[in-house]
Amino acid sequence: MMIDDLGAEVPIDRPIRRVVSLVPSLTEAIALTCPGLLVGATDWCTHPAELPVERVRGTKNPDVRRIAELAPDVVVCNEEENRRLDVERLRTAGIAVWVTRIQTLEQAFASMNRLFAEAFGLATPGWLSRAEAEWSAPPTELVRDAVIAIWRDPWMVVGRDTFTGDLARRLGLRLVHADRPQRYPTLSLPELTAGIELAVLPDEPYVFTKIDGPEAFPGIDVALVEGRSLTWYGPSLVTAREHLTRGLSQTFRA
């Protein structure tokens, strides 16, 4: 019996031959590491492109009946991205479910190692070792008070205890709303712009662009960055530090 990140017992029989992933980051990680194991993924699993697997709806509304019909050896989920209700429904249907918990970069590396080593019985993936090496350098020393928006109308930003917030800290950003109780606070426009030097606007989940978002931050530096590098914790971590550092250096004002 295996134990997932939340301490739940997961009855996995090896060798694993069929996997359904309900998390985009995990889908990409498994597809790159174990080609051919994936038989199902969500509509939001966009990497690798044109992945030839069954689509089982979204992260918050998976098609439990169809997943059961795919007869997976294990379904992989994430504590934040998937609902506990859906995990319980899958387990009630007799399906083994492995749930990850990832709120920091260290947790991401440890969780990915456990997934492949303990759940799948495989060696550490090469991309994971390269990602750990890329992020082993000390955090950036230049600190800027910043906000990272993830949605607008209403405006929502990255707050406390988040994977993205941990990456931001390592990149030299101090999130001004990290002391709020919510992990993703909803803010009024005056709250959004108060006391910040930099507004970071990723292209997902909301697609911020040069003409959609920066105008809300008059007189404030704005950086448009790749959302996947900022929020995904799979193979994109190999290049995320380089991409984000470059994006944060290319600021402009609306």
129 and 148 together in one domain: no
92 and 170 together in one domain: no
160 and 237 together in one domain: yes
For residues 15-23, average pLDDT: 96
172 and 105 together in one domain: no
Q: What is the pLDDT of residue 1?
A: 83
At residue 139 the predicted structure's pLDDT band, cuts being 50, 70 and 90, is confident
Q: Which residue segment(s) compose the domain that 106 sits in?
A: 2-133
195 and 244 together in one domain: yes
Task: Report strand pairing: 144-151 vs 155-157.
Answer: antiparallel
166 and 119 together in one domain: no
98 and 193 together in one domain: no
Q: What is the pLDDT of residue 94?
A: 95
pLDDT per residue as tens digits for the range 46-55: 999 989 999 9
Classify residue 1 by burial, with Cβ atoms within 10 Å: 0-12, 13-18, 19+: exposed
116 and 160 together in one domain: no
CA distances from 87 to 12, 17, 84 (A): 15, 20, 5
pLDDT per residue as tens digits for the range 109-138: 999 999 999 999 999 999 999 999 999 988
The residue among 86, 114, 133 that closes a domain is 133
Give the dihedral sign, CA 176/179/183/184.
Answer: negative
127 and 220 together in one domain: no
Question: CA angle, 71 as apex, 66 and 77 as ends, to 5°?
Answer: 75
> In this structure, is residue 153 part of a structural domain?
yes
- Given a contact cutoff of 8 angstroms between Cβ atoms, the answer to whether 148 and 172 are in contact is no
State the CATH number of the domain containing residue 26. 3.40.50.1980
